Amino acid sequence: MSSKKNVMSNKIILFDLDGTLIDTAPDLVLSLNKLLKKHNLPLAPYAIARNESSNGSKGLVSLGFKKNNSSLIKEFIEIYQNNICVKSKLFPSINELLDELKSYNIQWGVVTNKPKKLTRKLLSLINLSVKPSIVVCGDELPKRKPDPIQIEFAINKLNINKNDCIYVGDALRDIQAGKAAGIRTIAVRYGYIRVNEDPYNWQADIVINKASSIIEGIKKLGFIN
């Protein structure tokens, strides 16, 4: 986990990574299908595998192999590390959002269940217009989302009041973690959501359909004067 000196306001927007900030599904599914091909198994349909991408290596391996074991997960991660930013890109309007947050002197950060090694590599290859104030990864603390410990660590590290933090994510566990941490939440519907899931049932404070609407959601919550 990392942070930089707080030179902006004591307000922050924390984001999930995969399916919220960055569209990583193309490379995750590519890596899964490379692994399936290696084992002479049928390739996973992109549309189905995309919606499983939010559940990371375990979810994707389980989808493709109908089972999960550490050996397969290790193989998948090795392939993914070498294909982590082939087609992955920021969702539309994310850099514009980060620029607008900066114009309001609002910090931003990442709280993800993705392992540190993969997160660092991905962020180093993605062209972010504004660098995050903090990044907390899934293997850096004893628990991870839906447990609130990662979010609590981030706001404590930067000395942020809970009323001055919003968490944005595309999965139920994101909203559960934010609510358990005592902060406001925004659910995004453009991410990796299974067909039987409805973000409107997650009890987020705001639900939005596209990244360009995140700033509107933040304003609706009274976060920006």
Q: Could you give the residue numbers annotated as active site? A: 16, 18
Angstrom distance (rounded) from CA 114 to CA 137? 6
Q: At what angle do helices 172-180 and 149-157 cross, to 10 degrees?
A: 60
Angstrom distance (rounded) from CA 147 to CA 140? 13
59 is written with which tokens? 């979810």
Strand partners, 208: 188
Label residue 18 exposed, middle or buried (CB < 10 Å: 0-12, 13-18, 19+): buried
> 3-class SS at 75?
helix
